[in-house]
Structure 1
């Protein structure tokens, strides 16, 4: 029974992160990687479920299966956050125009578009920045150094096309 428990738990620790990454790859339209992970996921699933449904499983083995699933989800999301696949769009709302921040961001190789708008009490300024997800936290911290009161919203764009920005990001973000 102890061997089964260890096997079940280990299989779940491998299975669920693979399942999590496969789902993320599907959402990000990375179908080849998702397909390959799907094959591995299915093989692991068949093997682990054959142990669980063998007819000799104990309540402890079922609980370990469920706990392994939960721990696997945690690990899978941590892995995905470290990989940070794709791009993010940052909308940075400022109370005042901050040319120093805009110039500093552009010097880091980021494309920045500034908009001026009317807020409830006064003018507001919004920066729109497209960047790779794996440097999102770094860019947000950089913005905060220049304007601690900046209000930042992050979105993940599904698709985009054209412009100098994608080429510039690939070239310049390697140097950051």
Structure 2
């Protein structure tokens, strides 16, 4: 019983690290990728040695697999909480809602506005770059001012120049 509990605990530590390492690797966070990789491999070897040494019971193998699945869920939840990186929102609205634009800018969101032709009328597109930690706040503000807005989120891998870069430079000095 002790081995089963240890296996599940190790999987709940190991697999979230695997998920975070993968996310950091995709986001090109080299140092964090390396740190998570080292910790992940140490825990992996320990956990696997428990399963493969001695008598391998079906229960231990099933617990190992179930722990892996639960660990993925935990890893995704952790990443959603810490929200690594930035997000770019493209918001399409029917009218130029100056109250929304002013509110977003007052709250520190960089907003660029484009006017374009929709199928039935003129549309306005707001391009907004923000930290992922502020994504929910952004959605709430848009919902409050433009409940029928069409919104698409993207995760930029690189950006240079513009409002966000200036803000980051100011914080460094």
TM-score (norm 2): 0.94
Cα offset, 1:33, TM superposition: 1.1
Instruction: Give the corresponding residue for 2:37.
Output: 38
Deviation track 1:128-172 (CA, whole Å, cap 9, x = no partner) reads 000000010111111110111111110000000122323336869
Query: Number of paired residues?
Result: 171
Bigger drift between 77-86 and 109-118 goes to 109-118
Bigger drift between 163-172 and 58-67 goes to 163-172
Give ranges in structure 1 of 5+ residues lacking alignment: none
TM-score (norm 1): 0.93
- Alignment partners' CA distance in 2, 1:170 and 1:119: 37
The CA RMSD over aligned residues, in Å, is: 1.4
- Alignment partners' CA distance in 1, 2:163 and 2:96: 24
State the SS of the aligned residue for 2:130.
strand
Cα offset, 1:51, TM superposition: 1.4
Instruction: Give the corresponding residue for 1:141.
Output: 140
Q: Which runs of 4+ in 1 moved over 3 A?
A: 169-172
Report whether the alignment pairs 1:61 with 2:60: yes
